[in-house]
Amino acid sequence: MEILQGVHYFYTTNGQQVGPVDGNEMVRLAHQGYLSETDQVWTEGMAEWLPVTAFSQLAAGIHAATDAAYNNPVMDDGSVVVKEPALARPGVIMVPREETVPERYRKRVSFGAWIWTAVMPLLILGVTSFGSAWGPRLGYSSVDDLETIVVILFGLALLFLVINSIIGLVILHRAWSHIQEIGLARTTPGKAVGFLFIPFFNLYWVFIAYYGWAEDYNRYIEEMGADHIVPANSGFQLAAIICNFVQLPFLWPFAVYMMCRCTNDIADLPAPGDLGIDPASIPGSRFGYQA
């Protein structure tokens, strides 16, 4: 038998009845060692209570919880990593989580750095406009003094714009690099960034780079069994791109924030191999899937 997603169960432990508990929570409890082989499970529609081991996911979870390979290994720095092995089964939300991660498997991105470098040019231009209008009243009667200040401020604004563009490309590159491992991504990180520099073609490619990323990202977390991760809103990404084309970029910061959030959400996930996921077994994978 299998534990089903969305179904509520009751279980007994230490002589006490507990529940109702969602099916996903039951699997989690088994993997964390809260259930034993002597416990029993019941849900509506069952004629009698059954032992935990009668359910394949729970039996596997109990076995994994007692396996030394998953039993809270102690790292060199003394930190304890609490892991939950995943079953990678359809409908089961069970992704390994690490409460302490000494070294990151994937690099994170910073939305704060992007938005800060995006806002600074606007602030500088505002100060420049203020200075041009109020400079004489503040004692800058010399035109040369005002021109020098304006040139310096415009230079700073341009510098922040360049830095902001670089940070944005780094975010895009990492967003694509994080979803490459199971062979479903429609392009590579290098192409996602590089093709944006091709004149005219980039008008088409921006849809692949951002809207296409959202679609591939959602497929990635689905195949990884990471149902607890909020998916990317591909429709919002598309709307943000269209607004940019019509010179209304008010949605773009939210689109970048979404990309940063999604990228950081999977930054702590283990590699597919650590979950027992074979990329070659996934339909559509470029790693040799055979139907």
Instruction: Output the tens digit of pLDDT for each of the chain's 291 residues.
Output: 777 767 788 888 777 787 778 777 787 777 777 777 778 888 888 888 888 888 877 777 767 655 533 444 444 444 444 444 433 333 333 334 333 333 445 788 999 999 999 999 888 888 777 666 665 555 555 555 667 777 888 888 899 999 999 999 999 999 999 888 777 788 999 999 999 999 999 999 999 999 999 999 998 888 877 777 889 999 999 999 999 999 899 999 999 999 999 999 888 666 555 555 555 555 555 544 443
- Whether residue 178 is found in the same domain as residue 252: yes
- Whether residue 185 is found in the same domain as residue 277: yes
User: Given 46, 73, 103, which residue is the final one in a domain?
Assistant: 103
CA distances from 31 to 94, 225, 278 (A): 9, 15, 21
Number of domains comprising the chain: 2
**Structural domain span for residue 7:** 1-103
User: Given 103, 126, 141, which residue is the final one in a domain?
Assistant: 103
- Whether residue 38 is found in the same domain as residue 131: no
Phi then psi for residue 42, to 5 deg, are: -150, 145
What are the structure tokens assigned to 66, written together?
């007692």
CA distances from 195 to 72, 164, 177 (A): 45, 19, 15
* First and final C-alpha spacing in the chain: 27
- Whether residue 82 is found in the same domain as residue 116: no
Q: How many angstroms separate the CA atoms of 284 and 247, rounded? A: 37
- Whether residue 118 is found in the same domain as residue 219: yes
- Whether residue 145 is found in the same domain as residue 240: yes
- What is the value of pTM for the model shown? 0.58
User: Given 75, 103, 131, which residue is the final one in a domain?
Assistant: 103
Q: Residue 241 has what pLDDT?
A: 96
- Whether residue 42 is found in the same domain as residue 172: no
